[in-house]
Amino acid sequence: MEAKIGFRTATSLIFKGVIILFAFAIAIPLIVILFYIIRQGVTQVNWTFLSHVPAPVGEKGGGVLNALAGSFILVLMSSVIAIPVGMMAGIYLSENPKTRLAYYAGLCVDILQGVPSIVMGIVVYFWIVKPLGTFSAISGSVALAIMMLPIIIRSTEQTLKMLPDSLKEAALSLGVPYHKVILKVIVPCGFAGILSGITLSIARVIGETAPLLFTAFGNPYVSGHIARPMESLPHLIFTYATSPYDDWHNLAWGASFILLMFVLVLNIVTKVITRKWKVQL
């Protein structure tokens, strides 16, 4: 009997060790990537890098301003499209979970989440780029917005579903009409969860290249015109990293570093904000 217990304790310890080992093993690729990009990229970033557009091959003093501005505008526009639509869809799904529309809409959201981003690019290419006749920032934003939608919808729905019904009852019993109950009580109480879903979706699309290959295309200059091509950080990294020039490789490393830092900061800021604004139920 004692021998058996000894054997089982030993097996338990071995498995515990294996699990801890694998947990660390998972962290290793992440840490290696982080360190490598930081080491290669941090030397590239200086004021010139942030304030100039890429220079022709061979010339010094290029930068990634066009990509920075472009990414900012693209993400801003796609947020403007995706956030209202996504939140409203999420509110509908959480308030009417048993209807047929909710079932099929949920199915579509799940499928949309799994659609490859390149397919999204093809579709928007034929919807917007061809009719418009030119690559444009607006088509890129539409493609990114469609990619943001499933994340925003699901996180809004999950957050609102977790709120107790007593909140709605309290507001309705005061004589508040239904739409005001949703807008002024339910959504504000779920704000932290909804916001974290939004920032998660932004962190996802800011690093997407495939949908922008045929929509926003790329632009060597800083452009504010939404019906013209626009550069973005991941697209610049893709183009310059696959080019044969060392100067451009360096630009790609610098841009990778900036993108990485931005996503990191976004995630941290999200955690801080949601903790601060989390409503104590």
Residues 212 and 137 sit within 8 Å (Cβ to Cβ): no
Among 115, 132, 264, 272, which residue interacts with another protein (rule: CB under 8 A)? 115
97 belongs to the binding site for another protein (CB under 8 A): no
Tokens read off for 114: 């799994």
The smaller minimum CB distance to another protein, of residues 69 and 251, is found at 251
Q: Is 131 in the site for another protein (CB under 8 A)?
A: no
Q: What mask of x and - would describe binding to another protein in positions 210 to 249, judged by CB under 8 A?
A: x--xx-----------------------x--xx-------
Q: How far apart are CA 180 and CA 187, in angstroms?
A: 10
Q: Which is nearer to another protein, 22 or 277 (CB)?
A: 277
Which is nearer to another protein, 52 or 228 (by Cβ)?
228
Say whether residue 37 binds another protein (CB under 8 A).
no
Say whether residue 3 binds another protein (CB under 8 A): no
Residue 55 contacts another protein per CB under 8 A: no
Q: How far is the CB of 270 from another protein (least distance, A)?
A: 19
Total residues in contact with another protein, by rule CB under 8 A: 39
Q: Which is nearer to another protein, 1 or 174 (CB)?
A: 174
SS3 string, the chain, reads CHHHHHHHHHHHHHHHHHHHHHHHHHHHHHHHHHHHHHHHHHCCCCHHHHHCCCCCCCCCCCCCHHHHHHHHHHHHHHHHHHHHHHHHHHHHHHHCCCCHHHHHHHHHHHHHHHCCHHHHHHHHHHHHHHHHCCCCHHHHHHHHHHHHHHHHHHHHHHHHHCCCHHHHHHHHHCCCCHHHHHHHHHHHHCHHHHHHHHHHHHHHHCCCCHHHHCCCCCCCCCCCCCCCCCCCHHHHHHHHHCCCCHHHHHHHHHHHHHHHHHHHHHHHHHHHHHHHHCCCC
Q: Is 125 in the site for another protein (CB under 8 A)?
A: yes
Sole residue written with tokens 């495939």 = 210
Decide: is 111 part of the binding site for another protein (CB under 8 A).
Answer: yes
The minimum distance between CB 233 and another protein, in angstroms, equals 15
Q: Judged by CB under 8 A, does residue 114 bind another protein?
A: yes
User: Smallest distance from the beta carbon of 16 to another protein, in angstroms?
Assistant: 26
Which residues in 164-193 contact another protein (CB under 8 A)? Answer: 164, 166-177, 180-181, 184-185, 188-189, 191
Interacting residue ranges for another protein, rule: CB under 8 A:
110-111, 114-116, 118-119, 122-123, 125, 164, 166-177, 180-181, 184-185, 188-189, 191, 210, 213-214, 238, 241-242, 279-281
